Chain A
Amino acid sequence: MPTFAIRDAETLERRSSPDRPAVVFKHVSLAFDGKAILRDISFTLLPGHTKIILGASGSGKSTILKLILGLLKPDGGEIWIHGSRVDRMPEAEMMKVRNHLGMVFQEGALFDSLTVGENVGYKLYEETDMPLDDVRRRVEEVLGFVRLSEHIEKMPSELSGGQRRRVAIARAMAFKPPTLLYDEATTGLDPITATTIDEEIVKLRDIENVSSIVVTHQLRDAFFVATHEAIRLGDQIEISPADAKKCDEAEFIMLKDGVLIFEGNAAELRASTDPYVQTFLS
């Protein structure tokens, strides 16, 4: 599989350059129909690190992810993805940048005319010249990763909500992007299913060295992702509480009506005296 081998090498190269942040926002602002949605947002996501975006409904969390993907363009400010500036980039060029980004959409956004397997392998089937056998193998591999192997031939409408989210994660990770964006991947799920998804996020970050942006308004999941790490022990992958250094690699951002009101690690978030943060945490 020559083409894919080359891409893997590139991917590794991108991941291992610590001086080149995965995502940078510099004073980004955006308005819809004259109404400000995001105001002066700045942050940096380093490779292999996690950004957790918290905020009430309508505070602009999904909008930030759409800006990263170039699905929306900001009115002002700069956005950098793996070293390229994208805030004014034309769509055709943007397609190449999107090879670095996997997105789990808020409601999954699975293609309902395709089977689970076709959804997961979509990009490999349609946008690469990877041989079909290899695609098939990769699809089985990622579906195994999210523990849905037996559902490969089903249609998305035949799955439960939690299963659909996991298919969406499998689709986003199938082409091994160095950065993954999760939009409310656990919202509306029971705590047990939510924890399995949190564990997938941790596993991808620590085993595959993926940089992650996790959007949620569920604190339980936010803290789980921030304070756990995955370690490979032989064939097994173990999830355990992380040490302080690892915890520092997960940073929280809190949005309130499109303004960034907090930035810091889990301990700092708990210690914050800001009244809005306090209400959000309680």
Chain B
Amino acid sequence: MLGLLIEFSKSAVLAVQEYVQLQVATIRGVFSRPFYFHDVVEQFDAIGIGSLTVVLLTGFFTGAVLALQSGITLDQFGARPFVGRLISASMIKELGPVLTGLMLAGRIGSGIAAELGSMVVTDQINALRALGTDPVRKLVVPRVLAGFFMTPVLTVISDTVGILGGWIVAVYQLGVASSLYWTSITEALYLQDAWMGIIKPFILGYVIVTIGCYVGLGTKGGTQGVGRSTTNAVVAASVAVIAVDYFVTRVLITLLY
């Protein structure tokens, strides 16, 4: 029993060490040559534009359902007209970043793990190295850059359509005046909230992509291994999104407020 525990903690320490090493190599790859510019552009397109549909849909319906639910709650206090305040605050600070993060963990985390994993088991990663290319620079750096810079963009889009979704429900279902909705949206919005909402997705995007790359490159054992990696990447990235969100929020609250 104790032996098993020691075994487990050993492998956990080793995994963390490898994960950190990958990040160091990635950051070094961002700031030194060779830099595969073409692959970076390709990944911005695949990760950014490719994720637009799911982000639009989740953002919209999150805002809409938020309006419905808070409408009921606010009615108890006769505060229905303030529905906009609740939506903007919760969408921009929490739900936008976290739900976008979760959707990206599912879409990008799994995609990266599957792609890199199948490159590992078919020796394509070895072939890259044999041809003189560092797989971290060629494959990991472009994906990490794309995740880091596109997640905030996608989050802002998600926030925007969320607020629009809330507006539709507020006006057409709750009967709140349109102008009242918009004033209460802006009234409740403090600068700190905006900062919180924009800093988080950078970190979440970075975490999702580095986990996908780490799990993908560590794939072992044929096609089955690729399946296992894909699942592991989604689970690990999703849990990480929620956990990292909590810790980042704590740090930002002490720093900003």
Chain B residues in 8 Å Cβ range of A101: 130
Q: How far is the CA of A9 from the CA of B107 in the complex (A)?
A: 49
> Which of A99, A109, A110 contacts B126 (CB under 8 A)?
A109
Categorize the interface residue count of chain A: 20 to 34
Contact between B134 and A91 (Cβ–Cβ < 8 Å)? Answer: yes
> Which of B34, B122, B130 contacts A98 (CB under 8 A)?
B130
Contact between A122 and B130 (Cβ–Cβ < 8 Å)? Answer: no
Contact between B124 and A127 (Cβ–Cβ < 8 Å)? Answer: no
Most chain B Cβ neighbours within 10 Å, of A103, A112, A123, A126 = A126
Q: Does A43 reach chain B (CB closer than 8 Å)?
A: no
Q: Mark A82-121, 1 if CB is under 8 A from B, else 0.
A: 0000000001000100110101011101111000000000
Q: How far is the CA of A108 from the CA of B2 in the complex (A)?
A: 45
Which residues of A approach B to under 8 Å, CB–CB?
A: 66, 69, 71, 91, 95, 98-99, 101, 103, 105-107, 109-112, 122-123, 126-127, 171
A62 to chain B, nearest CB (A): 9
Interface residues of B in 106-154 (CB under 8 A from A): 122-124, 126-134, 138
Which residues of B approach A to under 8 Å, CB–CB?
A: 34, 36, 122-124, 126-134, 138
Most chain A Cβ neighbours within 10 Å, of B36, B127, B130, B132 = B130
Q: How far is the CA of A105 from the CA of B121 in the complex (A)?
A: 12
Contact between A111 and B132 (Cβ–Cβ < 8 Å)? Answer: no
Q: Name the CB-closest residue of B to A111.
A: B124
> Which of B34, B36, B127, B134 contacts A111 (CB under 8 A)?
B127
Known A-B contacts A109-B122, A126-B36; the reply to A103 vs B127 at CB < 8 A is yes
Closest 8 CB pairs of A and B: A109-B123, A109-B127, A123-B131, A103-B130, A127-B132, A105-B123, A95-B132, A71-B126
A215 to chain B, nearest CB (A): 14
Q: How far is the CA of A99 from the CA of B132 in the complex (A)?
A: 7
Contact between A98 and B127 (Cβ–Cβ < 8 Å)? Answer: no
Chain B residues in 8 Å Cβ range of A127: 34, 131-133
Q: Name the CB-closest residue of B to A123.
A: B131
Chain B residues in 8 Å Cβ range of A107: 122-123
21 pairs from A and B in contact (CB 8 Å cutoff): A66-B126, A71-B129, A91-B129, A91-B134, A95-B134, A98-B129, A98-B131, A99-B132, A103-B130, A105-B126, A105-B127, A106-B123, A107-B122, A110-B124, A111-B124, A111-B127, A112-B124, A126-B36, A126-B138, A127-B131, A171-B131
| Interface contacts beyond A91-B134, A111-B124: sample of 9 additional A-B pairs, CB < 8 Å, sorted by A | A71-B129, A95-B132, A98-B132, A103-B130, A105-B126, A109-B126, A123-B131, A126-B36, A126-B131
> Which of B122, B129, B131 contacts A122 (CB under 8 A)?
B131
A184 to chain B, nearest CB (A): 12
B119 to chain A, nearest CB (A): 8
Q: How far is the CA of A109 from the CA of B131 in the complex (A)?
A: 12
Chain B residues in 8 Å Cβ range of A123: 131-133
Chain A residues in 8 Å Cβ range of B134: 91, 95
Chain B residues in 8 Å Cβ range of A103: 127, 130
